[in-house]
Amino acid sequence: TAGSMDRRDGARGWQHVFLVPEYLKDASKKMKNGLMFVKLVNPCSGEGAIYLFDMCLPQLFEIKVFKEKNHSWFINESVQSGGLLHFATPVDPLFLLLHYLIKAGKEGKFQPIDQVVMDDMFPNCILLLKLPELEKLLRHVTEEKVNPEIDKKKYYKYSKEKTLKWLEKKVSQTVAALKTSNINVGARVQSTAFFFGDHVSIDKEEDYIRYAHGLMSDYIPKELSDDLSKYLKLPEPPASVSNPPSKKIKLSDEPVEAKEDYTKFNSKDLKTVKKNSKMTASQKALAKVDKSGMKSIDSFFAAKLVKKVGKI
Amino acid sequence: MENSEEESVDRCRMHLRPFTLRSPAPVTLHLLPCEIPVSRPAPVERFFTPAIRQGPYGLEASFRGRSLRGEEVVVPPGLVGYVMTEEKGEVLVGKRDFSESSEDDHELEEQDAMGSPEALERDFDRFIGATASFSSFTLWGLETIPGLDSKVRGALTWPSLAAAIHAQVPED
């Protein structure tokens, strides 16, 4: 009969619906392995987030998720609750490198990059050092020195001035994209959705800049975001706006967290090592929050079969 | 113990098997406007699919007696859709489990590490693979088709905006 209810269809485990760049498919033809989901720092919050790393390209992708209350998937002959739609999109690795450079910059001295990008919480940060054109990237946000006498090695120091210039360029290329994409960036739009088609067109340059600044702010620490706002000469937003514009673009208002014990396969297998000691206090707090009927990318790292909620 | 450090790194990774991305079978996807709290096999072909009709305002169907309206949403250009399914991790204690099928080639060697025999003694390797692919899905709303301002349609424009945010900027 049609629709045989065998276990091959949906019974094997949680099914994640993903949209990924097409070229990943071609890149995958050349490789046996080296494509993996890893936990790295979210450069805005400093918490953990799940990324996809392709060692073949090599390239880093961030994982974002569409989640909205009351959705589910029918996937062939199965139901997948939650109705999540995951996106893997290329991310500028400089945002993550910047997180480490800013931290090291507080010491105010020049250091080799492999001594800057070190992280006990997220040991996979060493993958960032494998990215192509690393030196070219770093030039945007650091002062560099070479010690020709000793080792010809490059030494880097975070430069706020260069970073703000770099971010300003990022903002203007994002503004250009916003203008062609018909996204309503008006401060009075309170919906979290994008608007298309016949909305009132907003042509105030400042609205676009503020919106783009909001988008950037998802990838940089708060302090730098405030500095950037001053640098772009953005006026303080009117107090009547409860949501900063950046909130509109988000697929989910929560950051991508990886906060569960990813040494578990699933709730049935509890005899594995406890890694919870690695969670920060805020991650623990977040872990307790009851969310609504969702499964998260955490499930990559802890496939739970209980009806528990998460997020990506 | 350099090796234990590498193990701990590897434990924070879930490997996506590249070969599964090459030609997974096409899959039929429906995004429903309601919460079904369990994930499990379901006779979609028997109860849901045959009831879908092309009406004057898009597709019509019903679920649990409620009337649904929907339409086909195409995956944006440059993207490809996959359904990814976790594989059960296997426990490796000192030796490989050769009972698995040969096509399910469990690659234990990392490109960047793990050449030692101790590598086989890691607790497990975590794997995920694409089990199916799609180039469109059917988006359903309760009684009306989700409009242009719906969150899911907004989300579909995210990749093009993300490309602008993350594109490299020219050097001075």
Residue A265 in this model has a pLDDT that exceeds 60: no
Average pLDDT, integer, range A200-207: 66
List pLDDT tens digits, range A87-126: 999 999 999 999 999 999 988 899 999 999 999 999 999 9
> Minimal Cα–Cα distance from A239 to chain B, Å?
25
Average pLDDT, integer, range A269-282: 37
Compute the count of residue pairs across chains A and B with CB atoms less than 8 Å apart: 295
CA distances (Å), origin B36, targets A25, A73, A74, A82, A85: 31, 9, 10, 8, 16
Chain B hits for A85, Cβ within 8 Å: 31, 152, 155
Mean pLDDT of chain A: 74
Structure confidence at residue B60 (pLDDT)? 97
Average pLDDT, integer, range A157-168: 97
Structure confidence at residue B43 (pLDDT)? 96
List pLDDT tens digits, range A286-310: 444 333 333 344 444 433 333 333 4
Quote the tokens at residue A155. Answer: 């030494």
Chain A hits for B88, Cβ within 8 Å: 12-13, 265
Say if the Cβ atoms of B89 and A307 lie within 8 Å. no
Residues 6+ apart with CB under 8 A from A153: A112, A146, A147
Residue A282 in this model has a pLDDT that exceeds 80: no
Q: Which residues of A214-235 are buried (b: 16+ CB within 10 A; e: fewer)?
A: bbbbbbbbeebbebbbebbeee
Q: Alpha-carbon Rg of chain A, whole angstroms?
A: 21
Which residues 6-25 in chain B show a CB within 8 A of chain A? Answer: 8-9, 11-19, 21-22
Structure confidence at residue A238 (pLDDT)? 55
Structure confidence at residue B87 (pLDDT)? 80
- Quote the pTM value: 0.74
Q: What is residue A28's three-state secondary structure?
A: helix
Mean pLDDT of chain B: 78
Least CB–CB distance from B78: residue in A22, A87, A176: A22
Structure confidence at residue B118 (pLDDT)? 37
Percent pLDDT > 90 in chain A is: 51
> Minimal Cα–Cα distance from A149 to chain B, Å?
28
Which residues 134-193 in chain A show a CB within 8 A of chain B? Answer: 136-137, 139-140, 165-166, 169-170, 173-174, 176-178, 181, 183, 191-193
List pLDDT tens digits, range A135-148: 999 999 999 999 77
Quote the tokens at residue B2. Answer: 């350099």
Least CB–CB distance from A81: residue in B36, B48, B82: B36
Q: Alpha-carbon Rg of chain B, whole angstroms?
A: 22
Mean pLDDT, each 10-residue run in order, chain B (172 residues):
49 85 94 95 96 94 95 95 81 37 35 35 68 97 90 90 93 78
For residues A49 and B122, is the Cβ–Cβ distance under 8 A? no
B150 touches chain A (CB under 8 A): yes
